[in-house]
Chain A
Amino acid sequence: MDANRIKKDFQVFEDETLCYLDSAASSLKPDRVVDALIDYNKKYGVNVHRGVYNLSYVATEKYEGARQIIADFIHASFEEVIFTRGASSALNMVALSYGMNEVNKGDEILVSELEHHSHLLPWQQVAKAKGAKLVYVPLTKEGRITIGHVKKVLSEKTKVVALTHTSNVMGYVTPIKEIIQLAHEVGAVVSVDAAQSVPHQRIDVKDLDADFLAFSGHKMLGPTGIGVLYGKKKLLKDMAPVEYGGDMIDSVEKFASEVKDAPYKFETGTPPIGEAIALGEAVRYLEELGLDNIAAHERELRAYTIERMSEIEGITIYNPCVETGIITFNIDGVHPHDAVTYFDGDNVCMRAGHHCAQLVTRWLDVVATLRISFYVYNTYEDADQFLASLKGAVAFFKSVGF
């Protein structure tokens, strides 16, 4: 994969000094995705499913076309793809609709300390409201969720398994296919947070046999404000909407109403139309690049970078054996917020903090961490720029007395 050529597809890289290593938080957007968003707003910026005029027909075709593109992308059926505000709102929808109705007193919900807050707090709420028990899958010494550790806590009481596919802090990939199979054996339903995996590896929801799987547009070259919830048809069929209102009803009477079938019963009001269409464009772009090529490219950059980082004294890497493009580390004795200001001075963008996953930061027994993450547009030059800045940072903080 020629990342130097890919960079040309992104206007933001007209700034040649920019070293963007925060794609796990939000990826940059290629011009053609931005153009798709602008095109909608400029040329056919009208509502979907409503107007009986040509322009509305065009908008509806494009919006539903994007749904089909995304369904094909993850090997789902058209009606199993629900557009949401993002992964957070998709994961909340699973907890609020499925969780609040199907989980009962005494049931157990399996989660992990690797979960992003958006996949933990909704289940905390379900557990509290329904008198269910949150059970944490113990992590390995390295910080991984393994099949063996899931087996230790999985039981007939388990009603829901809510786990991340790829940790946004540690970058580890959960053996989710095998876990889903085990969960199904005890009759549990599995919610997968795939926000960090769908942008970086091929996902086949049918092969995984996932019950629910959520991801965000803005982490996969798409716009903000759009995400996807995949749900199995037979589960969505019996689930109640979370929000009621326009566009999601079949017929309305004074005291009762009929809602539409999935996915529409979960898409109340005017959806983010341009954003959905632009996400469809992002998926086409990703498919042109090839998800396997993307994963291989990130693995190479990670291996190159970790090898050179481990030669630098005075830093700690928390996930040296990671298989994805996420590297989490600290400069010893330097708070990540101090460190990140130094990197910023070199136009190297990375994340500092607890990455919306306070439990794993606590598990690492640190106040916060630095994180770099690679994506399609990152080059070996980016890795070198980061490594030079890292060396500079270590020397600088030492010189001022840290």
Chain B
Amino acid sequence: MNNMENLYRQVIMDHYKNPRHKGLVNDEHYHTSHIKNPTCGDDITIQSRVEDGIVKDIRHEGTGCSICCSSASVMSEVLIGKTVEEATAILENYLNMLTNKDFDEEVELEDAIAYSGVRKFPARIKCASIAWKAFEDTLKESE
């Protein structure tokens, strides 16, 4: 039978219903990345502002499933205030966790650990990673 409870954890539902840092800004200090998953219609835009090597702000906007939309919100909460190095380490660990690769358990994923259940739903890995990949793009742009 279904083991959906592993996927739809409380943290995920909370961020889905009450997204943090939602809405884009019109500010040249932000770098923007827009990713679309045309098969399911997920469509996410991520903005980030990096100053002095620190992630000062992350904004997000888009449409998609609960896993996709909530992960953008969770990511913004987890990564704002981190140095670029810390954020990059968390990002790599998070993506490795989703895809069942080895990951460094020393790196604190904070609330993003709620997505560990996604591993058991391979068809949903894309949903959980799209916002993080978009953030990764904005980092590359700000280099």
Contacts and interface: CB of A to CB of B under 8 A. Distances in A.
A335 B2 contact: no
B67 interface: yes
How many interface residues does chain A have, given as a range? Answer: 20 to 34
A336 B7 CA distance: 15
A94 interface: no
A248 interface: no
Of B17, B40, B42, B124, which is in contact with the most chain A CB atoms at under 10 Å from its CB?
Answer: B40
A263 B63 CA distance: 46
Interface string B106-143: 00000000000000010110010000000000000000
Contact of A338 (B2, B39, B66): B66
B17 A345 contact: no
A265 B41 CA distance: 39
B26 interface: no
Contacts of A361: 41
Contacts of A396: 2, 4
A53 interface: no
A336 B123 CA distance: 13
Given A338-B66, A344-B123, A353-B39, A401 B2 contact: no
B41 A338 contact: no
A342 B3 CA distance: 9
Given A344-B123, A354-B41, A368-B41, A337 B2 contact: no
A335 B123 contact: no
B63 A346 contact: no
A368 B40 contact: yes
A277 interface: no
Interface in B17-51: 17, 39-42
A337 B121 CA distance: 12
Contacts of A344: 121, 123
Chain B residues touching A, range: 20 to 34
Contact of A367 (B3, B5, B41, B66): B41
Q: Taking each of A337, A342, A344, A401, which has the highest tally of chain B beta carbons within 10 Å of its own beta carbon? A: A337
A392 interface: yes
B15 to A, nearest CB: 11
B124 A337 contact: yes
B70 to A, nearest CB: 10
Interface in B55-101: 63-68
B4 A345 contact: yes
A400 interface: yes
Contact of B40 (A342, A345, A353, A402): A353
A179 interface: no
A319 B39 CA distance: 22
A354 B37 CA distance: 11
Interface string A217-251: 00000000000000000000000000000000000
Given A341-B7, A353-B40, A354-B41, A367 B63 contact: yes
Contacts of B64: 335, 337, 367
A337 B124 CA distance: 8
Contact of B2 (A336, A352, A368, A392): A392
Interface string A293-311: 0000000000000000000
Contacts of B4: 341-342, 345, 396, 400
Contacts of A353: 39-41
Contacts of B124: 337, 341
A337 B127 contact: yes
B123 A401 contact: no
Interface in A341-373: 341-342, 344-346, 352-354, 361, 367-368
A367 to B, nearest CB: 5
A335 B70 CA distance: 13
Give the residue among B3, B7, B66 with the most A Cβ atoms within 10 A: B66
Nearest to A354: B41
Closest A-B pairs by Cβ, 4 of them = A345-B2, A337-B65, A335-B65, A368-B41
25 contacts: A335-B65, A336-B40, A337-B40, A337-B67, A337-B68, A337-B124, A338-B8, A338-B67, A341-B4, A341-B121, A344-B121, A345-B2, A345-B3, A346-B2, A352-B40, A353-B40, A353-B41, A361-B41, A367-B63, A367-B64, A368-B41, A400-B4, A400-B13, A401-B17, A402-B13
